[in-house]
Structure formats: structure tokens, C-alpha cells
Structure 1
Amino acid sequence: MSHITLIRHGQANSGAQDEASYDRLSALGHQQSAWLGTHLRERGQHHARLYTGTLRRHVETATSMDMELEPVRDARLNELEYLTLARALEAEHGIPFPTDNASFTTHLPLVFQYWQDDRIDGAPERFADFEARVNAALTEIAEGDGPALVVTSGGLISMAMRQVLRLDITAMAQMALAIYNTSQHRLFPIGGTLSPTMFNAIPHLEAPDRHYAQTHV
């Protein structure tokens, strides 16, 4: 059983109103990813394998990291469709679509709760199916040979943490809100079970002249 380091993608198009428009890195997102790749190479961290979702922001993040590993694209590592869920929640239950960061932080837990309860008819996938695909993908990767880097998204990382820490839906949502762009999160096999040994690490953005690059959306 091998350890997994989950990487959230670089900053995307945070002003987008739909999934397709969101799915590309900003200039800062490319820079964050390049800094992370440089950090990993300079520290001599060994990774035998690289996985990404199939979303554009995942692919662009891995490309900008330049890890000299051939990536395996796996759609099971794709993000939940928050913007689609939010629009469906508004249409079906009259809960307004968030218009700023403050409203987003209270809106995301609502989306997660309604979604888990199967109360969003227009959801592109059921919460239970999202949970199952994340578990299946990470279990398969952990069973592979050698440490793995996995470039994915914040919602998937929060789901991974929900599974290993047995978090309730509110805690999962709060964790999702906290995750930085290009942050590292490690799951290490202990006693035959993956356990979290690192969460939300951004050493490549800790220098004072890079604090502006510590972004969440």
C-alpha cells in the first residue's frame, strides 16, 4: 500500500457562473502550480506516479508543475459540480445563488446537505455515487506501486478527508472551504488503512512576497 499526496488545482476562473467557464487556470493559477512543482523537485520528494482528473484545470495544473511523470487521467478524480448543484438548488428550493464570498461560505454547506439528502433532483450525480467513485479511485491508487501525486479539486479532497476521518457533512463542507489552491494533503497507510498525515500545506507560498498567492477560489 502506497501513500498518496492530493494536490488541489491552481486558481481557476473564480468569477465564472457555470462549470465550463470556471474550468481553466488563471495566470496566478499557472504560477502557483509552477512554484509547487519547483518546490517538490528542490526538496527531492520522490513520486513514482502522477494522476489527474480529466478537467482542464487539473491538466493545466499538472502541466505547469512539470513533474516529468506521465499523468494518468481518471474521470473519477473530477470535482463535484458545485455550480450546477447551486443552480438546481435555486430553481427547486428558492435558495439564492451566492453573489459574493461571504454568501458562498454559508451556501456551500447547504448545497452539501441538500445533495446528501437526495433533495436536488437536477444533480448531475448523486452524493452517494460521488462518494463511491472517490473511494474506488483512491483505493486503487493506494494499491499501486510507489508514492502517488494526485491533482484534483477541493471538493474531492474534502470527500477523501470525510472518508478517512468519518466527518459529518457540515465538517466536510467546512474543510472544503478551507482548502488552498495548489495545497498538499497526504494520506499515508498505517495499519493497512489510509490516514491523514498532512492537510492544506502550502510551503511554496509561505515566503512573504508570495502571500498574495494564497487563494481559496
Structure 2
Amino acid sequence: MPHITLVRHGQANTDARDEESYDKLSPLGHQQARWLGGYMQDTGDRFQRVYSGTMRRHVETATSMGAPEHAALVQDPRLNEFAYFTLSQLMEEQHGLTIPTEREGFVSHLPTVLGAWERGEIEGAPESYADFAQRIREVMEEIAAGQGRALVVTSGGLIGTVLRQTLALDVSGWAQMCLAIMNTSVHRWQMVLGRPLLTQFNSVAHLEDPARHHAQTHL
């Protein structure tokens, strides 16, 4: 029975305000990934297939985890994140929606941006929501059809969209999932009768030791 484990990348450049600047792990992000890789090693979590997006933060996370030691790393651009910084800038220019400067502000900002994107109300978006959702659906179906347990290192927005497709979430629920997903969190699906069944969400067991609580981050 196929199993798919999705991991969100480690903490990236939290001071960034554009796609390129954000796309690299912080020192803590590398440490989070090393802790996760060590935890999987200690618990006997083995994978026959390892995938990631082509973004720098995806590859750096997989490498710091030691994931390529399980199997050759397959980099697939269909596992890349949507351009949230760019969408936010376009929303500010076109609709006057101010970009927040603290995490609390994203609670209302994210669903507003995602809803406008889904409805096609953001002119010049790098990718339509329909194309984004379709590429995720296609790559997940291909991974699910493979043999052996699969590890996928990607981003929170993509994981949130897989959750949306699995659980039939509306925009509000989709945004809440995206906001909740922590850095290097683990999410598991099991294919049952050809359909994905969510079996684990947002696990950070590798960060539960009190000495590691500071590493439980969202951005």
C-alpha cells in the first residue's frame, strides 16, 4: 500500500520580502533538517524514493536531512511553491491590500490573497491557481503510482493545497492549514483503494525536546 510523506522545508530567510531572497535556509533551518533526518534515522523511517522541488530551500532541506542517502533525489519543478510574495505585491498594487509585517497579520491577509488568486482577480500572476492545483494533482498522482515509500520535501503552500484537495477545503480552511504548517513538519498520506487518506498532520516530533522548542517555527 503506497505511503507518501511530505516535509516542509526548514526555516528560510525570514527577513526576505521577495521570492529570490527568501529561497535559502537560515542556520536554524539547516539544524531543523538535520534533527529531522537524525530522528528518522533513529526511528527506522526509510524511503525507497525521495523527491523535492527545485527551489534552493527544498534541496538544502533534503540534503541536510541526509535524504539523498536513502535514494537518489528527484527534483521536480511541479513540487515548487506558488509565488506568494509576488502575489502579495500585485494585490497591494492593484487592490490596496497592505502586506503585513508580523505573522498575526497574515491570518487575514493569506485567505484574502488566496481567494483573489483562485477567482482570477490578480492581473499578471506568474501562474494561475488552476494551473498550480493541476500540477500538484498530477505530480502527487504520479508519486502515488510508484513503488515503495516516498519522501517529498517541498513548501507549506503546496502541502496545504494537497490537504485542500484531500479534504475538500474551502479557501478559509485552506489558508488555515497553510498558516499552521511548521518548518520541517511531517505529513503522511496512505493510498487506500486509489484515494489518498491523511494519516498524520504537522508532526514535529524531532523538535519536542524542551531544548528544541525554540526551533518550532512557522516562517
- Could you state the TM-score of these two structures normalised by the residue count of structure 1? 0.98
1:15-43 Cα shifts (integer Å, max 9, x gaps): 10100000000000000000000000111
The residue number in structure 2 matching 1:29 is 29
The residue number in structure 1 matching 2:201 is 199
Deviation at 1:192, TM superposition (A): 1.7
The residue number in structure 2 matching 1:5 is 5
Deviating above 6 A after TM superposition, structure 1's stretches of 4 or more consecutive aligned residues are none
> Which amino acid in structure 1 is aligned with residue 80 of structure 2?
N
Matches of 2:29 and 2:107 in 1, distance apart?
21
Correspondences of 1:40-119 after superposition (within 5 Å): 40-67=40-67, 68=69, 69-119=71-121
Q: Could you list the runs of 5+ residues in structure 2 that have no partner in the other structure?
A: none
Deviation at 1:45, TM superposition (A): 1.2
Matches of 2:99 and 2:203 in 1, distance apart?
30
Deviation at 1:99, TM superposition (A): 1.6
Candidates 137, 152, 158, aligned match of 2:139: 137
Over the aligned positions, Cα root-mean-square deviation in angstroms equals 0.8
Matches of 1:105 and 1:122 in 2, distance apart?
24
Give 3-state SS (helix, strand or coil) of 1:118's partner: coil
Matches of 2:201 and 2:115 in 1, distance apart?
23
The residue number in structure 2 matching 1:121 is 123
Matches of 2:210 and 2:101 in 1, distance apart?
30
Deviation at 1:56, TM superposition (A): 0.2
Matches of 2:103 and 2:168 in 1, distance apart?
27
Give 3-state SS (helix, strand or coil) of 2:125's partner: coil
Deviation at 1:46, TM superposition (A): 2.1
Correspondences of 1:141-180 after superposition (within 5 Å): 141-180=143-182
> Which amino acid in structure 1 is aligned with residue 17 of structure 2?
Q
Matched residue count: 217
1:37-80 Cα shifts (integer Å, max 9, x gaps): 00001111121000000000000000100120210000000001
Identity of aligned residues (%): 54
Deviation at 1:3, TM superposition (A): 1.2
